Structure 1
Amino acid sequence: MANKFSNRKAKQFLLELDRDTIETSDIFTRSKFNFSFFDPNQNHCTDFAQLSPNQLLETFEKIRHYSRSPLTYWQTKRCGGGGLKILEIYGDFPKNSDFTHPKHVPHDVKWARFRMDNLGRLVGFVVPPELVNLASEDRKFFLDTNTFYVVFIDLDHRFYKTENR
């Protein structure tokens, strides 16, 4: 039996009151992760298929969490006993690395890493800030400095070696 005090239009109206639009949401500040440059073929890189189901779940949960804030936010956040930054932007490809610069990655990017756990890192790059809003020739696409391009999964901290291992 239908409730005689039920008003479908009123319920629908109330549901729509809390809806965001693109302009009123925080979509502009959320960082993005791009995997199109991922290179699982280097000796020390871990491929997705090599991760345990739990490691895969934890990795994507952290990426989901990291994508809620801009990259600049994660550059200031610290974790661990030593207060290491969650996102570190190195600039040039490190000289002391067990990885090599993949040929398909542009030479003028800013190399960086996300700290995932004690030794694990998500390694990739960002677009240099001076290229923000650089447009493609047809002006349909623009570069974005709030995107992290993932190149390697480094479970053993071998991308930027700080000590002999």
Structure 2
Amino acid sequence: MKTPDEVEVKIRGLMMDPVTNMPMVVLREIGGEAVLPIWVGIFEANAIAMEIEKTATPRPMTHDLLRTAIHALDAEILKVVVSELKDDTFFAVVWLDRSGETMTLDARPSDALALAMRADCPVYVERSVLDAVQKNQANGQNIQPDEMRRWLEGLNDDDMGRYKM
């Protein structure tokens, strides 16, 4: 169900940005070189980290509850798409199928990624988002896009901390 403008990615890991000291999820193109860091809140980072580590909780977390509710409504999570970058804010869409009817849910990327991990569904990024991030890096920072990409690609498992895929 991938569109031609969507690039499939996987979560490479979760780490703390050394400059802002904020958590970020690092997405990497499957079979390609594109790398996309998305800064997330501490609670969302914790939800993603718990799923990376497959940590069980005594009670359902919010993303577990949402996955269970979707399944209870006889729907299936088809995919998650990081769909837009607007005013330095990423947007995502969760695609669902219910009895052949396709539905979408607007979501924060951090929530969409946490849900995708629990549903074991594919994650995509719109090509326009990857292009916009590369353009913003080239125009607004001293770090060149190739340098940022090399830094992100060069992160080893120790750099990623315990939160790696």
TM-score normalised by structure 1 residue count: 0.27
Please state which structure has a larger fraction of its residues in helix. Answer: 2
More strand by share: 2
From the CA coordinates, give the structure whose radius of gyration is larger. Answer: 1
Normalised TM-score (structure 2)? 0.27
